[in-house]
A and B are shown apart, each in its own frame.
Chain A
Amino acid sequence: MDDKIIIDLYWERSEAAIDETSKKYSRYCYYISFNILQDNENAKECVNDTYLRAWNAIPPKRPENLATFLGKITRNLSLNKYKQRSAQKRGMGHVELVLSELEDCIISPKDVENTVSEILLTEAINSFLANVPRINRSIFVRRYWYMSAIRDIAEEYNISESKVKSMLFRMRKELKAKLEKEDIYL
C-alpha cells in the first residue's frame, strides 16, 4: 500500500493503519532494532512500540517519508531500551563498539559553555555527508544510523571488511576536521 494511503488511515484513526504499517515496515524496523539490541524479543517489542508512537504522533504530524519517520522512532526506542538494559550490564556490546568509533570525531571543548546543540550538530553532519561520495555516505549511514555490522556492510557493498573499516576511519577523521574547522565542540 502506498505510504500516502497509510498516513490517511492514521488520520482517519483507522486501526488498519497499524496493520498496513506492520505489513510494509515491520522487517525494516526490526532490522534497525535488532542491530541495536541484538535480541529478538526486545526488538519485536520496540517494533510494536513504534506503531503505537506513530499512532500517537499522526495526526497532527503528516510525515513526508513514512519509512524514515518510523525508522527514527524505532532507533530512538531501541537506543533507550539498550541504555536501560546496559545499565545493569558491563562489557563491549555492539552499540559500545559503534560509540567507541564515534569518539574519534570528538573534539574536547576549550570552553565548556561553547558546546553545540544537537540540531546544529545534525546540520554539520548533513553538510559533511552532502560532500562525500555517495557510496561512502551510504556506508557511514549504514554503520552509524542503522548500526549494521561491518561484515554485513562489506557483503552488501561488495567490498572487503578491511576496506569498510578504512573508509569509516577516513570519514570519522574528516568529520572531526570539519567540526573542528567550524568550532563545533561536543
Chain B
Amino acid sequence: MKNEKLLNAIGQINDNYIIDAQPREKKQKIAHLRIIIGFAASLTIIVSIISIFHYYSVKQPYNNSEQTNKSYNVFTGGAGKVCSMFLSDKKLFYTNDKNDLFYYDKSIKKEEFISNIEIESGGLVFEEDGFIYYGNGNAIFKRNLKDNTSQQLLSSKNIWLDEVKKGRLFYHIAYKHSLKEVYTEFEYRIYDISTGNDIQLFKRSSDNWDLFDVENNIIIADASLENDSGLFFVDIITGTKKKLLNIRVNEGYLTDNKFFCSSDDDKGLWVISTKEEKNYKIALPGEEKEGFFIDRITGFDDFLYIAAYYEESNKIIKLNLQTYDTSIIADGFGRVWDLCTDGNVVYAYDTKSPFDMGQITVIDIK
C-alpha cells in the first residue's frame, strides 16, 4: 500500500529529527507505600535544596548595566502545567492542564484556586473587559472573572476559538473525514458578542489559517492554502488577502500597524508593516549564535518583551519600539511557553525539561 511506503520512508528519516522528538519517559509507579513515603521525604529535601539554589542562582536577574528588573518571585501553576496565562485588570490569571483556573495575588505573592472550568486541556483562554472566552471543542464559553459564572455562547461539533478582539470572537469549525481521527476541512467565522451576529470569514475548505493577531479590521495570520502558504494580511471589511512574507512565522505580535514576528527560516525579529510595503529586521542580542530562536513575544505601550533562546537558556529581551534599543532583563529560563505583561511586571512561564511542571516567574520591570 502507498501509505505503508510512506510510513516506511518516514522510518528512515534523519536521526537528528528522531532524537529531537524523543518522548519523555513516564516514571513507573512504585507500589510499596513505604518506599513512596521515604522517596517523597527525600524528594522534599532535594526539591527544597534545588528550589533555594534555583531561586538564588539559576534565575538571578541578568547582571548587566542595562538591567531594569528589581525582584523575582517564582510560583508553580497549581501543581500542573500552565496552559494559558492572561491578565485582567492588571491581575494575573492562568489555567493548568487539569483545567483549573487560578488567580495570582501579587500583594501576598500567593496563587489562589478559583474553579475548574469547562475547557479543552491545553486550550487557549482570551480575556477582554473582565470576561474570559474559551472552548472545549463542543462549545465556546464566556466566563465572568468577578463572579465566576459562565455562559455558553456558541456550540457545534469541533468548534475552536482562535482570537477575541473588541467584542468579536474569531473561531473555526473543523470537519473530519468520516473514517479518520484528523481534520480535513475548516470553516472560519466571526461572532459579535453584543449583537449575536455571526458571519462567515472563510468558507469551508482545506485552507488552514493560524490567526496571530487582530487589530481593528486587520487579521495577521499564517496560512496554509491550497496553492500557497506564508504570512498573510486579511482585511475583514473588503475581504482582501495580501501575502506579507513567504516564510513560516512561529510567533508574532501586532501593534500600531506593525507586526513583529519570528521565523525558523530566517532568524531574528522581522517587522512587517500592515500599511506600507516595508519589511525590515531588528537586530536582537544573540541572534548570531547557533540555535537561536524566539519562543514568545508580548508587549505593552512602547516596549516589546521577547523570550529568545540561545546558549542553552531563554533570555527575556526588552525592546524599545521607538528607538529599537534592546536589553536583556532576565536570563536562565528553560522553554518559555507563555509571556505576558501589564507594564509593571513581566510574567514568564517556563519548563526546564519535559518532566518539569514549570514555574511562573514574576519580573519587575519598573
Interface positions of A (Cβ within 8 A of B)? 27-28, 31, 64-65, 67-68, 71-72, 75-76, 79, 92, 97-106, 118-119, 121-122, 125-126, 129-135, 137-139, 141-142, 144-146, 148, 150, 152, 154-156, 158-163, 165-166, 168-170, 172-174, 177, 186
Nearest chain B residue, comparing its CB with the CB of A128: B13
B110 shortest CB reach to chain A, Å: 24
Q: Is the CB of A145 within 8 A of B248?
A: no
| 12 A-B pairs whose Cβ atoms sit less than 8 Å apart in the complex | A67-B22, A68-B18, A97-B181, A98-B7, A100-B180, A101-B182, A126-B13, A146-B21, A156-B354, A158-B337, A162-B160, A173-B208
List of B residues within 8 angstroms of A169 by Cβ: 182-184, 208
- In the bound assembly, the distance between CA atoms of A141 and B9 in angstroms comes to 12
Number of residue pairs A-B, CB distance < 8 angstroms: 167
Q: Chain B interface residue count: which class?
A: 35 or more
Min C-beta distance of B161 to chain A, whole Å: 10
Q: Whole-angstrom distance from the CB of A142 to the nearest CB of chain B?
A: 5
Closest to A105 in B: B6
Q: Is the beta-carbon distance between A125 and B9 smaller than 8 angstroms? A: yes
**A186:B179 contact, CB within 8 angstroms:** no
The CA-CA distance from A100 to B184 in the complex, in Å, is 12
Q: Tell me the B203-258 residues at the A interface (CB within 8 Å).
A: 206, 208, 210, 224, 227, 229, 248, 250
Given A100-B180, A174-B224, the answer on whether A134 and B2 have CB atoms closer than 8 Å is no
**CB–CB A160/B123 < 8 A:** yes
* Residues of B contacting A133 in the complex (Cβ-Cβ under 8 angstroms): 248, 250, 263-264
B265 within 8 A of A: yes
Complex interface: chain B residues within 8 A of A122 (CB): 9-10, 12-13
**0/1 string, B1-28, CB within 8 A of A gives 1:** 1111111111111110111111111000
A170 to B120, Cβ gap below 8 A? no
Chain A CB within 10 Å — which of B2, B8, B81 has the most?
Answer: B2
5 further A-B contacts with Cβ under 8 Å, apart from A160-B123, A173-B208, are A104-B184, A121-B6, A133-B250, A145-B21, A168-B182
B15 contact set on A, CB distance < 8 A: 64-65, 68
Measured CB to CB, the closest approach of chain A to B187, in angstroms, equals 13
B97 at the interface (CB under 8 A from A): yes
Provide the B100-136 mask, 1 if CB < 8 A to any CB of A, else 0. Answer: 0000000000000000000011111000000000000
Give bound CA distance, A102 to B4, whole Å.
9
Given A121-B5, A158-B81, A173-B206, A146-B23 contact (CB < 8 Å): yes
| B13→A67 contact, CB < 8 A | no
Q: Which of A65, A103, A141, A174 contacts B13, CB < 8 Å?
A: A141
Which of B21, B22, B206 has the most C-beta atoms of chain A within 10 angstroms of its own C-beta? B21
Across the interface, do B5 and A162 meet the contact criterion of CB distance under 8 Å? no
Please measure, in the bound complex, the distance between the C-alpha atom of A92 and the C-alpha atom of B180, giving whole angstroms: 9
Question: Min CB distance, A61 to chain B, in Å?
Answer: 14
A134 lies within 8 A of B264 (CB): yes
Assembly CA distance A177 to B337 (angstroms): 30
Q: A121-B5, A166-B183 are in contact. Are A148 and B224 (CB under 8 A)?
A: no
B343 / chain A contacts, CB cutoff of 8 Å: none
Assembled-state Cα–Cα distance A2/B24 (Å): 19
Q: B137 at the A/B interface (Cβ < 8 Å)?
A: yes
Q: Is B170 an interface residue (CB 8 A)?
A: no
Interface residue from A132, A138, A159 paired with B122 (Cβ < 8 Å): A159
A145/B18 in contact, CB under 8 A? yes
Most A-side CB within 10 Å, residue of B3, B121, B265:
B3
- CB-based nearest A residue for B82: A158
- Across the interface, do A138 and B5 meet the contact criterion of CB distance under 8 Å? no
